[in-house]
Structure 1
Amino acid sequence: MLTRLSYRINTAIGRFLPEQRLFLKSDTDTRFIRLQPMTQAAALVGGALVLGWTILATSILLMDSIAAGSGRDQAQRQQILYEARLNALSADRDLRAEEAARAQERFNLALTEVSQMQGRLLASEDRRRELETGIDVIQETLRRTIKERDTARGESASFAAALRDETGSAKTGEGRARDAEATLEILAGALAGTAEQRDSMALVAMSARDEVESISNEKRQLEARNNVIFAKLEEAVTVSMEPLDKMFRSAGMSPDDMLRTVRRGYSGQGGPLGPFTMSTSGSNVLSPDEVRANAILQGLDRMNLYRLAAFKSPFAMPVKGNFRFTSGFGYRRDPKGAGTRMHSGTDMAGPHGMAILATADGVVTYAGYNSGYGRHIKIRHEFGIETSYAHLSNIRVSVGQKVSRGDRIGDMGSSGRSTGTHLHYEVRIGDKPVNPMTFIKAATDVF
């Protein structure tokens, strides 16, 4: 009776304080001390009582120490505060005196600068007077020169009139010859400039033809390179897409339905890429290169959706390290002799305490003790998929917690209906169990 009651109490407390084992290793063997949930609870209660008594005793001693203060201590404290106040006032006075000294220095410096500016102002005034005197002299000289020029023009006009009266022309023969020579020089210069301009235009035309030919060659080379790049991109997208399609179809999932679900969830952040267009003529008709570019972008968008869907689906191993598969999915002989039973998951045996990892992003829907499953965790994923992890020794998540692929959610153990340390891993789609190895093998073939 007492043993059964103790077992029930240990089971009830074990939900909050799971059984712990303290391993003691020597040169020859390894032993462990088992800490039952009742033992842990008793230790916690005792520790809490000791801590409470310590806090209470400390509070009483502190209150006695405060109440035992004498008037002399208070007077000393007041004197210390008064001296500190005096020191602060003295420091403030010294600071104000130092600021006044700095202000006096700035005032003296300003006076020096004002005196220097006054000296420069007087010097500039003297310079201005000298310049005004010089300007007056220059103006007087200019007026005298203008008068002399006007007088010379008048004399020249009178001489020209006298010459015209005598010869019938104001120009001499020598002057007409000089005029003709000047005219010929002007015409020859104009013709030479025209010829030079013609030769320059011819060179420019030849250079333009060469440049057009070079641009045409570069355009043809660029089109050839673009064709090669487009072909490689199209081949890369096709080669990358086929394994992803095969992976999801091998897992019994419709890629089109799955991608539509992901696109709805990511329509505002990371959804389809916008169309690629390079037309500047205002026409809505896309060129062949633009059509190929849009097809490549749509393929890249589909690959991005596949990547998001892969992280939301259990295409990963729940354990990493040294382990082995001990039982597969399907009908088998019950390990405890209960006949032939359906085994709805895959068993993976490894060392006690081995990390159990979430195989996809999701939300924890169950985390606790579940009869034959022992310590059990269920995670709900997208697309109606649920994964299950059973026979754990420790649970590290709680219901409602969001987890990501690769997060540690528990430790491997042998709780519940188990014959040894291992992980029982299940995958369900629409509450129907499927073979987890389908997902694991599909991911192994791709990643």
Structure 2
Amino acid sequence: MTSGGWIRRWFPERQIYLRSNGEIRGYAVSSRKQMILAGVAAVVGGWTLLASASVAIDAVSTRADQERAAQDRAAAERANADLQARLDSAVMRMSTTTGSLDDIARTVERRHAALTQVMGQFRGVPGARAALRPVRPASGDLTPGQRIMAVRLDQERLIARAETFAQSRAERLRLAFRLAGLNPAAYAAAGAALGGPLVEARDPRALAAILDVDEAFALRIRQAADSLGEMRDLADAADALPLSRPAHARTTSGYGVRFDPFNGRPALHQGQDFAAPLNTPILATAPGVVSFTGVRSGYGNTVEIDHGRGFKTRFAHLNAIAVQPGQAIAVGQRIGAMGTTGRSTGVHLHYEVWVDGRPQNPARFLKAGDYLVQQDH
């Protein structure tokens, strides 16, 4: 069958008759017009299916990550409960006659010094101060020897809580990376964030000698330090990512295919739009260095910030620019004011996130940032 025969078969010329006020009017819909309408319907339908599939995939991925994090937390809690049970059983067997009180006291002091090195690494970590507060054993009717052993038991509990806390926060950070569409393994090099003997001595026997503690406790210190190192690597990497919001404004248009507001044709929107009153402050979403300020075609007044590791953010349609190229920028710092310069239909911010030269969906990074804020409060 020829192409013309195929077209006439599927898109024959159709007559449409409309009756109004006793008059009948006829309209002819040609094969060409029908093909155009069918093409537009196919594009709109395909875009709708693609957008729906993307939302569904994001929802499934997020739910799976959250379930995995819940399972990890439950496993950590079970391990902590098992340790608690073993320690409670051990304390029942402890006797103040096991060595002299002076020997036990010196052991406790050395353990305390080792714990101090680990706990100092948690300074400034959200939630760590409350989670790792030492439990003061009640003196009550305990003998001096029993009080010393109670302190030693509390040290065991504290190092266990420190390890569990570090593992739990590391898992939350890994989930945030996955929400942003990033592989957390590429940002964690366990132990690199720590210094001193906690890193230099990988062998528990060597660490025990350096810290002057028993080997069993040195192993616990080593495990906690490893978990802490991974957590801090992920936290440092997260602090450098554009996870903050660029303005206190509502979202008006997201990333993806949309109909261009000027010509009505489908086009890829490479960023996310935020609307607010004229001159609303625009804020840096991560620390970095300003790599460009000025006018870009279609974008109007634009600021671009290089955050390192291949990350870049772009802020467009600004009414005013408050920074200059080469300037170091902190997260949350004001870099300009919202406007409607360039190819714009009204006052808004057009915000883009780029990774290794490719535009990303900013909503992923904002979702990851919101998740971490909720977890830290």
User: What letter corresponds to residue 164 of structure 2 in structure 1?
Assistant: E
Structure number with larger C-alpha Rg: 1
User: What's the CA shift for 1:211?
Assistant: 9.9
Matched, 1:359 2:285: yes
Q: Aligned with 1:372: secondary structure?
A: coil
User: What letter corresponds to residue 339 of structure 1 in structure 2?
Assistant: R
Instruction: Return the alpha-carbon distance in structure 1 between the equivalents of residues 190 and 144 of structure 2.
Output: 49
User: What's the CA shift for 1:256?
Assistant: 2.9
Structure 1 window deviating more from structure 2 (242-251 vs 341-350): it is: 242-251
Q: Aligned with 1:419: secondary structure?
A: coil
Instruction: Return the alpha-carbon distance in structure 1 between the equivalents of residues 285 and 211 of structure 2.
Output: 50
CA contact (8 A) 1:364 1:377 kept: yes
Instruction: Return the alpha-carbon distance in structure 1 between the equivalents of residues 210 and 334 of structure 2.
Output: 56
User: What's the CA shift for 1:293?
Assistant: 1.4
Residue 415 of structure 1, aligned match among 334, 341, 351: 341
Q: Which residue of 2 aligns with 1:371?
A: 297
The runs of 5 or more residues in structure 1 that have no matched partner are 1-207, 264-269
Cα offsets for 1:25-69 (capped at 9, x unmatched): xxxxxxxxxxxxxxxxxxxxxxxxxxxxxxxxxxxxxxxxxxxxx
Instruction: Return the alpha-carbon distance in structure 2 between the equivalents of residues 435 and 333 of structure 1.
Output: 17
Q: Which residue of 2 aligns with 1:342?
A: 268
User: What's the CA shift for 1:304?
Assistant: 2.5
User: What letter corresponds to residue 219 of structure 2 in structure 1?
Assistant: V
CA contact (8 A) 1:233 1:296 kept: yes
Residue 424 of structure 1, aligned match among 328, 350, 354: 350
The alignment's TM-score, normalised by the length of structure 1, stands at: 0.47
User: What's the CA shift for 1:261?
Assistant: 12
Matched, 1:242 2:242: no
Matched, 1:288 2:211: no
CA contact (8 A) 2:305 2:313 kept: yes
CA contact (8 A) 1:244 1:306 kept: yes
Matched, 1:274 2:202: no
Pairs aligned (count): 232
Instruction: Return the alpha-carbon distance in structure 2 between the equivalents of residues 330 and 314 of structure 1.
Output: 19
Q: CA 1:428 to 1:286, structure 2 compared with 1: closer, same or farther past 3 Å?
A: farther
Q: Aligned with 2:340: secondary structure?
A: coil
Tell me the C-alpha RMSD between the 2 structures.
3.1
Q: CA 1:215 to 1:407, structure 2 compared with 1: closer, same or farther past 3 Å?
A: same
Q: Aligned with 2:292: secondary structure?
A: strand
User: What letter corresponds to residue 301 of structure 1 in structure 2?
Assistant: G
Superposed counterparts of 1:93-104, under 5 Å: none
Q: CA 1:242 to 1:283, structure 2 compared with 1: closer, same or farther past 3 Å?
A: closer
Superposed counterparts of 1:66-215, under 5 Å: 212=100
Q: CA 1:292 to 1:336, structure 2 compared with 1: closer, same or farther past 3 Å?
A: same
Q: Aligned with 1:391: secondary structure?
A: strand
Q: CA 1:242 to 1:426, structure 2 compared with 1: closer, same or farther past 3 Å?
A: same
Matched, 1:326 2:252: yes
CA contact (8 A) 1:262 1:308 kept: no
User: What's the CA shift for 1:381?
Assistant: 1.0
Q: CA 1:443 to 1:238, structure 2 compared with 1: closer, same or farther past 3 Å?
A: same
**Paired-residue identity, %:** 33
CA contact (8 A) 2:243 2:286 kept: yes
The alignment's TM-score, normalised by the length of structure 2, stands at: 0.56
User: What letter corresponds to residue 438 of structure 1 in structure 2?
Assistant: R
Q: Which residue of 2 aligns with 1:435?
A: 361
Instruction: Return the alpha-carbon distance in structure 2 between the equivalents of residues 292 and 362 of structure 1.
Output: 38
Q: Which residue of 2 aligns with 1:90?
A: none
Instruction: Return the alpha-carbon distance in structure 2 between the equivalents of residues 409 and 309 of structure 1.
Output: 22
Instruction: Return the alpha-carbon distance in structure 2 between the equivalents of residues 357 and 243 of structure 1.
Output: 25
Cα offsets for 1:114-158 (capped at 9, x unmatched): xxxxxxxxxxxxxxxxxxxxxxxxxxxxxxxxxxxxxxxxxxxxx
Instruction: Return the alpha-carbon distance in structure 2 between the equivalents of residues 280 and 295 of structure 1.
Output: 13
Q: CA 1:262 to 1:252, structure 2 compared with 1: closer, same or farther past 3 Å?
A: farther
Q: CA 1:340 to 1:246, structure 2 compared with 1: closer, same or farther past 3 Å?
A: same
Q: CA 1:280 to 1:261, structure 2 compared with 1: closer, same or farther past 3 Å?
A: closer
Cα offsets for 1:340-371 (capped at 9, x unmatched): 00000000000100110110111111100112
Structure 1 window deviating more from structure 2 (220-229 vs 243-252): it is: 220-229
Matched, 1:224 2:147: no
User: What letter corresponds to residue 238 of structure 1 in structure 2?
Assistant: Q
Instruction: Return the alpha-carbon distance in structure 2 between the equivalents of residues 282 and 369 of structure 1.
Output: 59
Q: CA 1:300 to 1:273, structure 2 compared with 1: closer, same or farther past 3 Å?
A: farther
User: What letter corresponds to residue 298 of structure 1 in structure 2?
Assistant: D
CA contact (8 A) 1:362 1:382 kept: yes
Q: Aligned with 1:224: secondary structure?
A: helix
Matched, 1:299 2:249: no
Q: CA 1:319 to 1:280, structure 2 compared with 1: closer, same or farther past 3 Å?
A: closer
User: What's the CA shift for 1:281?
Assistant: 6.7
Q: Aligned with 2:323: secondary structure?
A: coil
User: What letter corresponds to residue 306 of structure 2 in structure 1?
Assistant: R
Cα offsets for 1:423-444 (capped at 9, x unmatched): 0000011111110010110111
Cα offsets for 1:408-432 (capped at 9, x unmatched): 1110000000000000000011111
Higher strand share: 2
User: What's the CA shift for 1:255?
Assistant: 2.3
CA contact (8 A) 1:262 1:309 kept: no
Instruction: Return the alpha-carbon distance in structure 1 between the equivalents of residues 168 and 296 of structure 2.
Output: 45
Instruction: Return the alpha-carbon distance in structure 1 between the equivalents of residues 191 and 216 of structure 2.
Output: 30
Question: Higher relative CO (CA 8 A, sep ≥ 6), structure 1 or 2?
Answer: 2
